[in-house]
Amino acid sequence: MITTAVHRGLIYAGQTRLASTIRLEQTGPMQVTVRAGTFTGTDGTPHRLAADQLGLFSSDPTAVKQYEAELGLTATGAVEVCLRSRIPPDGYPPLPAGWRTLSVLICTVTVPRGATDLTEVPIHVLTVRPGFPPGTGPVDAMIQRGQT
Partner 1 sequence: MIHLEGTSDPGRREAESRSEAAQRILTAYRGQRVSLMPEAQRAQLLEAIAEWLGLADADGTVR
Among the listed residues 122, 133, 140, 141, the single contact to partner 1 using CB under 8 A = 122
Asked if residue 78 lies in contact with residue 71, where contact means CB atoms within 8 angstroms, the answer is no
The residue range among 15-23, 35-43, 49-57, 133-141 that interacts with partner 1, by the rule CB under 8 A, is 49-57
Among the listed residues 64, 129, 132, 133, the single contact to partner 1 using CB under 8 A = 64
Q: Give me the count of residues in the chain.
A: 148
The residue range among 18-26, 40-48, 119-127, 129-137 that interacts with partner 1, by the rule CB under 8 A, is 119-127
Q: How far is the CB of 142 from partner 1 (least distance, A)?
A: 30
Between 13 and 87, CB nearer to partner 1: 87
Q: Does 100 bind partner 1 (CB under 8 A)?
A: no
Q: Which long-range contacts (CB under 8 A, 24 or more apart) does 1-6 make?
A: 1/26, 1/118, 1/119, 1/120, 1/121, 1/122, 1/123, 2/26, 2/32, 2/123, 2/125, 3/122, 3/123, 3/124, 3/125, 4/124, 4/125, 4/126, 4/127, 5/124, 6/133
Between 2 and 87, CB nearer to partner 1: 87
Among the listed residues 23, 35, 86, 129, the single contact to partner 1 using CB under 8 A = 86
